[in-house]
């Protein structure tokens, strides 16, 4: 049975709540730097390309890159002035709010998570043992429990964590912040614990599995080990689709319905007693924010088509509608966090993104056609992501605090780029004619991504891009040859060739002869026999990541729906 590591998708970034100054990181992906902006719009520092702040639980996934899936970007990433960072080579280090490295762990740990309750979870391997083990690090970078390590562990909440030693068959127990075991977690006979989530109300949510039958259940216990309730006992015969989190004394449990794809959702108290419920729900909030959660009710379902209606719901189960201008309706409620809910509103002709203030009569505070990617209650700074390269920070009045400078914009129109030819550093080429229409006039170009066109090879004068540091060839169905002149790019550090199914030759020569090359990523491109071994001996500092689709197996956590 595989280890189960939970991870917040936003993946990949760290940290927490308090810092001596408010800094907002601008996440732009592994090919770009990550600038940190203060509340006045000043650039304080930037992380190098490929270096990312870490958020959520530690993960050892092979695809370790930031995924923008529409949720809030983390706006504060420091704990007591410290943030965890993952480098482009997978090493971990800690920085202060000036961007200075205060602790460098190198490759000591396979993964790290964010600081929580003053401690950082770190995963590492032990020689001759399978899997990863967990250590809790204090702000000095030391294992706070000395030599004690764990096979699995939750973060600390209210001074308590749930841990499992040795292996997946070992018992789970609670420990205090001194590492002292307080109580062993008991489960019904013939059941084993699959996963533990520690909640803020001194409750642990256990996913348990019958040792002989393919039967799953959920058990809630308090941190004294006392049983609160078991889902199958409170709701016999029902199949669980999903369980949310306890917040403000309530937890939503979604049950499958017969005959359609929707759920009946029950909000229960800490004894498992139903406080209110709604039927035929398509989406719902997993927890309360400022006294509200949300539901999307489905009606008139026909196949995969249905009518939806969004409501905010308070802790008594009362439904509320945000205050909207006449004729406008909510198309979707995208995200809730802290004080605000992000909604998509339409007047029948177009739509905008708006923030609903959960602490001020559910009124609209801000609307824009841009995507709102994050916000902070503390300084009321909003984070916009107009597209992949254009980022803006504004306050609630709409005043721009910071926006991406020309040098950091990714251009894709050669005529527009030539207006700033002495500043443009990043270019995305989708029309091969851009080469002859002025691309070589961009003398400061450092990043070039060539994608989605019918290019068969690069022009032989590619070496004229003297400042080029990163070259990416992506989704080029007809691309065949990487010319030898590519090796004359004296500052080229990273080379990425992906989704080029008709590639034939050239990359070995470039890898061997490009003088500054540090990282090569190849997807479904087979290198000559012995080439990687030879390069490890010749240039041990060069990293080559080459994989083939037939060799990759991704194992996912099971989706549990009742028995």
Q: How confident is the model at residue 462 (pLDDT cuts 50, 70, 90)?
A: very high
Distance CA 14, CA 34 (A): 13
Q: How far is CA 392 from CA 381, 386, 409, in A?
A: 10, 8, 12
pLDDT above 50 (res 419): yes
Per-residue buried b or exposed e for 20-35, using 16+ beta carbons within 10 Å of the residue's own CB? eebbbbbbbbbbbebb
Domain coordinates of the chain in residue numbers? 1-149, 406-551
Residue 533 φ/ψ, nearest 5 degrees: -60, -45
pLDDT at 552 over 60: no
299's tokens: 């009606």
pLDDT at 562 over 80: no
Cα–Cα dist 142/146, whole Å: 8
Nearest one of 393, 361, 362 to 380, comparing CA atoms: 393
pLDDT computed for residue 556 by the predictor = 36
- Residue 130, pLDDT score: 82
Residue with token string 């270019």 = 427
Encode pLDDT of 25-66 as tens digits: 888 777 788 999 988 889 999 999 889 998 888 865 433 333
**C-alpha torsion angle, residues 193, 199, 201, 203 (rounded to 10):** 0
Task: Using the predicted structure, report yes or no on whether residue 549 has a pLDDT greater than 60.
Answer: no
Please check whether residue 389 is in contact with residue 404, taking contact to mean a CB–CB distance below 8 angstroms.
yes
The mean pLDDT of 296-314, rounded to a whole number, is 83
The token pair that represents 75 in the structure block = 């706006």
Residue 175 CB neighbours (<10 A)? 21
Tell me the pTM: 0.78
The 8-class DSSP code of residue 55 comes to: B
CA dist., res. 225 & res. 227, Å (int): 6
pLDDT at residue number 117: 87
pLDDT for res 346? 87
- The pLDDT, as a whole number, for residue 385 is 61
Neighbours of 100 (CB within 10 A): 9
Closest CA to 478 of 505, 508, 503, 506: 503
Please, what is the average pLDDT of the chain?
A: 85
Label residue 1 by pLDDT band (50, 70, 90): very low
Task: Provide the β-strand partners of residue 497.
Answer: 473, 522
pLDDT digits (tens, 9 = 90+) for 396-411: 888 888 888 999 889 9
Q: What are the b/e assignments for 107-139, b being 16+ CB within 10 Å?
A: eebbbbbbbbeebbbbbbeeeeeeebbbbbbeb
Q: Specify the pLDDT at position 28.
A: 79
Task: Sort 74 into a burial class: Cβ within 10 Å, 0-12 / 13-18 / 19+.
Answer: buried
1-149: CATH topology is Lipocalin (2.40.128)
DSSP letter string over 529-561?
Answer: TTHHHHHHHH-TT-EEEEE-GGG-----PPPP-
The C-alpha atoms of residue 130 and residue 168 are separated, in whole angstroms, by 11
Assess whether pLDDT exceeds 90 at residue 519. Answer: yes
Q: Between residues 547 and 489, which one has the greater pLDDT?
A: 489
The band of 67, judged by pLDDT with boundaries at 50, 70 and 90, is very low
* DSSP element (H, E) containing 507: helix 507-513
Number of Cβ within 10 Å of residue 399's Cβ equals: 9
CA distance 503 to 189: 58
Digit-coded pLDDT (tens) for 89-140: 889 999 999 999 999 999 999 999 988 888 999 999 888 888 899 999 999 9
At 307 the pLDDT is 84
Is 6 a residue whose pLDDT tops 50? no
Please give the Cα distance from 6 to 13 (Å, whole number): 14
Sheet holding 92-95, edge to edge: 52-53, 83-86, 92-95, 101-106
Q: Quick one: fold of 406-551? A: 3.80.10
Q: What confidence tens digit (pLDDT) does each residue in 256-276 have?
A: 998 888 999 999 999 999 999
- What backbone torsions phi and psi does residue 550 show, to the nearest 5 degrees? -70, -15
Higher pLDDT, 63 or 205: 205
**SS3 at position 315:** coil
The span from the first CA to the last CA of the chain, in angstroms, equals 18
CATH fold match for the domains 1-149 and 406-551: no
Closest CA to 445 of 403, 488, 492: 492
Tell me what pLDDT residue 499 has: 93
pLDDT at res. 289:
93
pLDDT at 300 over 90: no
Does 72 score more than 70 pLDDT?
no
Statement: residue 558 has pLDDT above 50: no
* SS3 label, residue 287: coil
Biggest CA-to-CA distance, the chain: 73
Integer Cα distance of 410 and 417 in angstroms? 9
Which pLDDT tens digit goes with each residue over 425-450?
999 999 999 999 999 999 999 999 99
Residue identified by tokens 């909640």 is 199
**Residues 357 and 340 sit within 8 Å (Cβ to Cβ):** yes
3-state secondary structure of 133: strand
User: Distance between CA 295 and CA 284 in Å, rounded?
Assistant: 4
Which of 101-105, 174-178, 379-383 shows the lowest mean pLDDT across its residues?
379-383
The predicted pLDDT at position 222 comes to 94
pLDDT at 70: 33
């Amino acid at each position: 049975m595989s280890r189960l590591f939970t991870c917040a998708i936003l993946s990949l970034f760290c940290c927490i709540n308090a810092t001596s100054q408010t800094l907002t990181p601008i996440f732009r992906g592994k090919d770009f730097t990550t600038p940190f902006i203060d509340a006045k719009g000043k650039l304080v520092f930037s992380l190098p390309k490929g270096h990312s702040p870490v958020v959520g639980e530690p993960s050892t996934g092979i695809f370790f890159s930031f995924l923008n899936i529409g949720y809030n970007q983390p706006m504060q990433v420091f704990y007591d002035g410290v943030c965890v960072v993952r480098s482009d080579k997978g090493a971990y280090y800690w920085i202060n709010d000036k961007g200075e490295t205060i602790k460098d762990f190198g490759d000591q740990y396979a993964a790290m998570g964010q600081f929580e309750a003053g401690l950082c979870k770190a995963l590492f391997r032990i020689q001759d043992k399978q899997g990863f083990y967990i250590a809790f690090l204090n702000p000095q970078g030391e294992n706070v429990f000395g030599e004690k390590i764990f096979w699995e562990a939750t973060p600390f909440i209210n001074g308590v964590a749930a841990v499992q030693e040795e292996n997946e068959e070992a018992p789970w127990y609670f420990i205090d912040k001194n590492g002292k075991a307080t109580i062993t977690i008991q489960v019904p006979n013939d059941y084993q614990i699959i996963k533990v989530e520690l909640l803020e109300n001194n409750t642990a949510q256990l996913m348990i599995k019958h040792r002989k039958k393919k039967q799953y259940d959920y058990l809630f216990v308090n941190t004294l080990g006392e049983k609160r309730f078991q889902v199958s006992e409170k709701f016999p015969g029902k199949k669980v689709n999903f369980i949310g989190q306890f917040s403000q004394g309530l937890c939503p449990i979604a049950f499958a319905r017969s005959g359609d794809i929707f759920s009946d959702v029950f909000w229960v108290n800490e004894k498992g007693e139903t406080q209110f419920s709604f039927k035929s729900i398509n989406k719902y909030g997993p927890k309360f924010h400022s006294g509200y959660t949300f539901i999307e009710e489905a009606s008139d379902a026909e196949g995969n088509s249905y009518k939806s209606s969004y409501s905010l719901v308070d802790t008594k189960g009362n439904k509320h509608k945000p205050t909207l201008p006449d004729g406008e309706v909510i198309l979707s409620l995208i995200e809730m966090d802290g004080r605000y809910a992000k909604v998509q509103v339409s007047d029948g002709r177009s739509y905008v993104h708006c923030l609903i203030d959960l602490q001020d009569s559910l009124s609209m505070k801000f609307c824009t056609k841009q995507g709102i990617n994050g916000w902070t209650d503390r300084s009321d700074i909003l984070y916009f992501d107009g597209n992949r390269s254009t980022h803006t920070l504004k306050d609630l009045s709409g005043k721009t605090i910071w926006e991406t400078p020309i040098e950091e914009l990714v251009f894709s129109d050669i005529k527009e780029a030539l207006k700033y030819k002495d500043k443009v550093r990043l270019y995305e080429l989708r029309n091969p004619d851009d080469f002859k229409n002025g691309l070589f006039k961009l003398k400061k170009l450092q990043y070039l991504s060539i994608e989605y066109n019918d290019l068969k090879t690069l022009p032989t004068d590619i070496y004229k891009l003297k400042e080029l540091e990163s070259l990416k060839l992506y989704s080029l169905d007809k691309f065949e040859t990487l010319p030898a002149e590519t090796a004359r790019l004296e500052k080229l550090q990273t080379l990425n060739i992906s989704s080029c199914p008709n590639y034939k030759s050239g990359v070995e020569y470039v890898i061997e002869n490009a003088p500054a090359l540090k990282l090569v990523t190849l997807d479904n491109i087979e290198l000559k026999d012995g080439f990687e071994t030879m390069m490890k001996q010749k240039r041990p500092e060069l990293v080559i990541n080459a994989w083939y689709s037939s060799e990759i197996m991704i194992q996912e956590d099971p989706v549990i729906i009742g028995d």
